[in-house]
Amino acid sequence: MQERHWTAETITIEEAAKFIDHSLLRPELTVADVQAGCETAMKYGVASVCCRPIDVPLCVRELAGTGVVVGTVVGFPHGSHTTATKVAETRRAIDDGAREFDMVIQIGMLRSGRYREVHDDIAAVVDAAAAVDGAVKVILETAFLTKEEKIQGAKLVEEAGAAFVKTSTGFAPSGATVEDVELLRSAVSPKVKVKAAHGIRTLDVFLQMINAGADRVGATATSRILDDLRARKGV
List, in order, residues 6 or more apart from 129 with CB less than 8 Å away: 90, 94, 101, 135, 136
Minimal CA–CA distance to 212: which of 168, 180, 165, 174?
Answer: 180
Q: What is the residue type of 63?
A: L
Which residue in 137, 150, 166, 193 is the catalytic one?
Answer: 166
Per the rule left: phi > 0, alpha: psi between -120 and 50, beta: everything else, 216 is beta
Which residue in 21, 55, 86, 102 is the catalytic one?
Answer: 102
- Please say if 43 is a catalytic residue: no
Length of the chain measured in residues: 235
Q: What is the residue type of 154?
A: A
Alpha helices in 64-190 (DSSP H): 83-96, 107-111, 115-129, 147-159, 178-187
Minimal CA–CA distance to 119: which of 153, 80, 85?
Answer: 153
Which residue in 137, 150, 193, 195 is the catalytic one?
Answer: 195
- Please say if 195 is a catalytic residue: yes
Query: Could you list the active site residues?
Result: 102, 166, 195
